[in-house]
Amino acid sequence: MNKFLVTSTLAVLSMSTFANTAQLEAQVSKLSKKVHRLTQMNVDTMTRQELRALKKHLKLSVGILTGNTVPTPRPTPQPPVQRMCANDFADVFQATFKSLKTFAYASDGLDMTSMGATQFAQDFTENNPCSIASEMISNVKRLKKFAYSSAGLDMTSSGAKAYAQDKWSSFCSDYPIESEFKAHYNFAYSSTGMDMTSSGAKKYAIDKVASQAFSCRAQF
């Protein structure tokens, strides 16, 4: 008896599901005919905005019918807004400002005037978080030394400073740029290597190291 009831219940549910599916199919067929008829009647009088909206929905319908529905893209998560250094806690901001000004004024830093160093510190703290100040100082000092050195790029003092300020934010500080540059330069300049001129060897060497040395980004 129980088996009969279960079988009967399943049969009823199956028939109900079939009926619902058949009803949906009939509705879809009816709607598609209605869309076709209305499109033929009104397409010539629709605005560009209305046509774009209709096209968008029809493409979605075609995608569903062909099994190629494109999923709705999820919104790209936005990174948290970084607090600029000037708006950080007073002790953090002031300590960072002082270290930046000292660096900008120092001869092994940017060698600026006192007024220029103050302006540099102000600009940096207004446009960057305090957390990257020490990274910037370290990278600029190192790159300036490398660019100014005769074993490096052999630039003028002003050229080396400009180079360091331009490159510091993408510099990978764990990359041994000095030794790698020297190895590539020596090979390119050597008569047993590529036998280039000194300037050609420098260009060759910096091209070789650039992709690895400057592929990082400071964490703003």
Q: What is the mean pLDDT of residues 75-102?
A: 87
Confidence label for 81 from pLDDT (cuts 50, 70 and 90): low
pLDDT in tens, 132-186: 999 999 999 999 999 999 999 999 999 999 999 999 999 999 999 999 999 999 9
The answer on pLDDT for 46 being more than 70 is no
The two three-digit tokens of residue 15, written as one number: 């028939």
More reliable by pLDDT, 12 or 121: 121
Question: By percentage, how much of the chain surpasses pLDDT 90?
Answer: 59
More reliable by pLDDT, 7 or 124: 124
Instruction: Using CA atoms of 175, 179, 183, 189 in order, give the dihedral in degrees to the nearest 10.
Output: 120
The answer on pLDDT for 71 being more than 80 is no
Note the pTM of the prediction, 2 decimals. Answer: 0.61
Q: What is the mean pLDDT of residues 11-18?
A: 55
Which residue in this structure is represented by tokens 């079988």? 7
Q: Which residues fall within 8 angstroms of residue 173, CB to CB, at 6 or more apart?
A: 135, 138, 139, 142, 216
How many angstroms separate the Cα of 76 from the Cα of each of 60, 73, 79, 81?
22, 9, 9, 15
Of 59-68, 89-98, 126-135, 195-204, which gets the smallest average pLDDT? 59-68
Mean pLDDT of the chain: 84
d(CA 197, CA 189): 6
The answer on pLDDT for 111 being more than 90 is yes
More reliable by pLDDT, 71 or 186: 186
Q: What is the mean pLDDT of residues 18-40?
A: 71
String of b and e for 171-183 (b: at least 16 CB within 10 Å)? Answer: beeeeebeeebbe
CA-wise closest residue to 172 among 204, 220, 210, 205: 210
Per residue, the 3-state secondary structure of the chain, as one string, reads: CHHHHHHHHHHHHHHHHHHHHHHHHHHHHHHHHHHHHHHHHHHHHCCHHHHHHHHHHHHHHHHHHHCCCCCCCCCCCCCCCCCCHHHCCHHHHHHHHHHHHHHHHCCCCCCCCHHHHHHHHHHHHHHCCHHHHHHHHHHHHHHHHHHHCCCCCCCCHHHHHHHHHHHHHHCCCCCCHHHHHHHHHHHHHCCCCCCCCHHHHHHHHHHHHHHHHCCCCCCC
